[in-house]
Amino acid sequence: MEFAPTAAPYAYADDSYDSVGGPLPESPWKQALSEQLRLLADLLRWIPIASAAGILAGSASALLLVSLDFATSVRESHRWLILLLAPAGLLVGYLYKYLGASVEAGNNLILEEIHDPKAVIPLRMTPLILLGTFLTHLFGGSAGREGTALQTGASLADQLTRPLRLMPRDRRILLMAGISAGFASVFGTPLAGAVFGIEVLAIGRLSYTAIAPCFLAAFVGDLTTKAWGVHHTVYRVSEIPTMSPGGILSSMAAGVAFGLAGMAFAKTTHAVSHTARKLISFAPMRPFVGGILLTCAVLAIGTTKYIGLGIPTIVAAFHGPLPVYDFAGKFLFTVLTLGTGFKGGEVTPLFFIGSTLGNSLAHLLPLPSSLLAGMGFVAVFAGAANTPIASTLMAVELFGAEAGAYAAIACVISYLFSGHAGIYQAQRVGRSKHLSTTAEEGLSLAVVAKLRSAPAPDLLEEFDDFGYLEGSLMEHLTVLRLYFSASEIRRSDSWWKRLAPQSLGPYLLRQAREHGIEQALLHRVIGGFLKNQELIMDTGEIPPARLPQCLELVGEEESLQAFLKDNRDHLEKVRVVFLRGEEARYEAAIEREELEQAIDMEEIDRAQHTGKGEED
């Protein structure tokens, strides 16, 4: 069923239209020059912004590293401070309850703001996380520093949003640059940091929109930390065999172990956090109770090697055999620390767990313990954070290219075997790791975990015969569908807007919001064709320019008519279809009937397959 407004000359696309969007320049030379000038102008705009983000993040990381060195030195010299871990946890809990409730989500808040920009991150995130991390380490908690560096880097960078009047798209890039700068400066790995800011957002999908600002901010951040006279620990892989089939297979086997360890760490940390929230409703009491448990554990085992950063043990893993249970000790101390609400990062403990686990695997795999320690150092992190590329680059920067080759294999396998789990619950599934879980694409890891743990409801029972939730009144609503190519460009009404052409789809979405449309969805399709165009399929990583897409708007007909009237200049090459309330209901009824038939056929096939199995 197809209905168009009666007085709407823009209701159908021009049959003669055969373009990938927007007017072309008069000549290829003019087109090339215009493109390069736009790129140059954009780069020149981002150089000072990314540099400022790098300087802020690098300075904050320098302060963090110096403060943690001081806290570790004082704690090891006065080990009785572990007795005050519980009161310190109570203090951290009160600080976040009364001063930091809006920033308590930490890294997950930053990722959510990148995915869906809403409000500038409060500046108080920086002093709160610095103080919380310092207290955690001073009194004997087991935590890292990456989480703190990411939060300081992103929150400080985000303070540039208002004075520079950045749009949401630019603010996303700024936050990603802040993450890159924080990671690069706290570990001294600018290449890994630059890619981490891009890779950590979504599993299996990279967006190069922020690649230049992220790289620039990462290198500036690293140089800034060094300019403050702060240096990083050096890790050396002493023995690297020549690559061979046996070495590849051993690296893959180690990668499986590292991936399972990363997955277990992420799931256990979240489970401890969930249990603590369930059993202890008053938030400040959670780290207090956790502090008591940690203090008792330290006193019971008689060693402090599993608290703090654990750098001496990580270094030792590269130089000789260690107890095979060291990774398990650090695992338990860290999940208890972070799960009960203490502040700090997860990555340095993951370095500890990975390097000591790799050291232990030397008893089973024919690879040097030093090399396995280096592989585990980055691969457990790759699995837990779902960042195999950044982790591989970190291995190259820390251990060299030859060791990096072994680490790359372990990182990729670890990434695959960690599944759709991770330390950052706001991280989204961009591309599923396996075809059996493609339904989880687009969801955050928190939602994935919730859906997997919940019983599957009978969704059809919740809808009426027309495909709507029981009690929903749809007769007064109208559905408007706009069909156009993905490369369609908004018509520019001034010369300066032509320098930065805007895609039609996102522009119309914002217009729908401004017009008060109740619901708007921009559908990305697998394949299709528009009128008088050939069939286009999306079979690669990069969608074809002519790939059709559909913008569906649901709302009052008056609002939709006003939307069409105000945007008619941009809809000359767009096909418009109206479905009024009753028509939409009957279409939904047809779709429901087709769905029920498909379910019935699937049940028949399953029954037939079961019958054949019994006969065999």
CATH number at residue 68: 1.10.3080.10
In a domain, 322, yes or no: yes
CATH number at residue 515: 3.30.70.120
Looking at residue 615, its pLDDT comes to 53
In a domain, 12, yes or no: no
At residue 111, what are phi and psi to the nearest 5 degrees? -65, -40
Overall residue count recorded for the chain in this entry: 616
Looking at residue 288, its pLDDT comes to 97
Are 262 and 182 found together in one domain?
no
Using the predicted structure, report yes or no on whether residue 301 has a pLDDT greater than 60.
yes
Contact by Cβ (8 Å): 379, 414: yes
Looking at residue 387, its pLDDT comes to 96
Looking at residue 469, its pLDDT comes to 45
In a domain, 107, yes or no: yes
29 Cβ partners below 8 Å, 6+ apart? none
Are 406 and 478 found together in one domain?
no
In a domain, 95, yes or no: yes
Mean per-residue pLDDT for 411-433?
94
Are 343 and 196 found together in one domain?
no
Are 474 and 565 found together in one domain?
yes
Are 364 and 395 found together in one domain?
yes
In a domain, 3, yes or no: no
Are 320 and 411 found together in one domain?
yes
* Of residues 260, 500, 527, the one with CA closest to residue 380: 260
Are 262 and 189 found together in one domain?
no
Are 477 and 436 found together in one domain?
no
pLDDT digits (tens, 9 = 90+) for 475-530: 567 888 888 888 788 776 655 455 556 788 888 888 888 888 888 888 877 788 88
Least confident of 128-137, 379-388, 422-431, 443-452: 443-452
Are 577 and 478 found together in one domain?
yes
**pLDDT tier, 277 (very low <50, low <70, confident <90, very high otherwise):** very high
pLDDT digits (tens, 9 = 90+) for 2-36: 334 433 333 334 443 343 444 444 456 666 567 78
Looking at residue 190, its pLDDT comes to 97
Looking at residue 10, its pLDDT comes to 39
Contact by Cβ (8 Å): 66, 231: no
Using the predicted structure, report yes or no on whether residue 225 has a pLDDT greater than 50.
yes
Looking at residue 19, its pLDDT comes to 39
Q: Which amino acid is at 586?
A: Y
Are 163 and 91 found together in one domain?
yes
At residue 263, what are phi and psi to the nearest 5 degrees? -65, -45
In a domain, 456, yes or no: no
Please tell me the distance from the alpha carbon of residue 120 to that of residue 113, in angstroms, as a whole number.
8
DSSP state of 344: S
Looking at residue 471, its pLDDT comes to 45
Q: How many CB atoms lie within 10 A of CB 322?
A: 19
Are 313 and 175 found together in one domain?
no
In a domain, 480, yes or no: yes
Looking at residue 442, its pLDDT comes to 85
Looking at residue 590, its pLDDT comes to 57
Range of the domain at 201: 34-227
Q: What angle is formed at CA 74 by the lines to CA 130 and CA 306, rounded to 5 degrees?
A: 80
Looking at residue 404, its pLDDT comes to 96
Please tell me the distance from the alpha carbon of residue 337 to that of residue 395, in angstroms, as a whole number.
27
Mean per-residue pLDDT for 391-418?
96
pLDDT digits (tens, 9 = 90+) for 141-172: 999 998 999 999 999 999 999 999 999 889 99
Looking at residue 51, its pLDDT comes to 97
Boundary of a domain, candidates 447, 482, 516: 447
Boundary of a domain, candidates 159, 193, 227: 227
pLDDT digits (tens, 9 = 90+) for 72-126: 999 999 999 999 999 999 999 999 999 999 999 899 999 999 988 889 999 999 9
Q: Which amino acid is at 370?
A: S
What is the number of structural domains in the chain? 3
Which helix (H) or strand (E) covers residue 69, if one does? helix 28-77
What percent of the chain has pLDDT above 70?
A: 83
In the chain, the N- to C-terminal Cα span, in Å, equals 50
**Average confidence score pLDDT of the chain:** 85
SS3 524: strand
Least confident of 316-320, 367-371, 390-394, 560-564: 560-564
Boundary of a domain, candidates 192, 227, 262: 227
Are 180 and 267 found together in one domain?
no
In a domain, 616, yes or no: no
